[in-house]
Amino acid sequence: MTLTFRCIADLRAGLTESPVWDDRRGTLFVCDIPGKAIIEIDLAEGVRRQWSFEAEVTALGLCDSGALVVALARKVIVFDPDTETRRDLWTGYDEPETSRLNDGKVGPDGAFWIGAMDGRADRKPIARLYRVDAQGQARAMEGGFAVSNGLAWSPDGRSLYHSDSRGPWIDRLDFDPATGEATNRRRMVDLDEATGRPDGGACDADGDYWSAGVSASVLNRFAPDGTLRARIPVPVPAPTMPCFCGPDLKQIAITSHRQVDAAALEDAPQSGSVFLAEAPVSGTPVARMKGL
């Protein structure tokens, strides 16, 4: 399978992540992690607005109100892009100073799920996955990760996908959308550098899981049982996360990073930018955070 990607935001940032489609505004929000910024992108016209923060911005989600729930390096805040007001939601992150929050997404339970990562070069499995509700109450749901990543839910909300980029592997858990309980964690697939270490993920309407193969310049499309259905080449060496977007969720955007060798960067100078293609299948809508 091949898709035709075009660059819709020529950012060339160190690391763009966490693309989120806002169906009300009709725009895409992404993070520039080292740039400590959130960027809003029109799919046809490019960058619309940008906001700076005091720390690395690692993940985003939408709230019922239209505000954004935002993971900074060591806390979660609520940010309104229209009024530019911001307030702390959860400040209880207590992992080592060398660690930070990483991939996050709002689940079908209406809570913000956010994983952490060991920030040292020699990463150890010390990080956890948290569930943060609208009252700012957080629970550690799982642990033992080097780089928690790849959060996505099946169309019926009954399966949670989660990866460890340094495992490297993808797990599948049973999920209860009413209570937010995630149980019965089991290995879906083990991966390697050549297949593509799993970075961010998304689910399509058919129930397949799309994983950014950050080490292999591909999107990997997996069936729920871990069968690799397709390896889709992308125009940059290090894609970081897919996101189904557009009015019918029939397009797919990818973010990327520039932390690659000089030869790869010369071949793909737009690394760190955001790209868009027509998708062969519609995506699963991502929930909004309830109560905010």
Detail the residues annotated as belonging to a binding site for a divalent metal cation.
17, 149, 199
d(CA 193, CA 198): 9
Instruction: For residue 160, give the amino acid letter.
Output: L
* Token pair recorded at residue 242: 């897919």
The one catalytic residue among 199, 204, 208, 248? 199
* Token pair recorded at residue 27: 């725009």
SS3 helix, strand, coil % of the chain, rounded to 5?
0, 55, 45
Q: Which residues are annotated as a binding site for substrate?
A: 100, 102
Q: Using alpha carbons, list the distances in angstroms from residue 80 to 37, 68, 266.
A: 14, 6, 38
88 included as an active-site residue: no
At 255, which helix (H) or strand (E)?
Answer: strand 251-256
Give me the torsion for CA of 89, 95, 97, 103, rounded to 10°: -60
Active site residues per annotation: 199
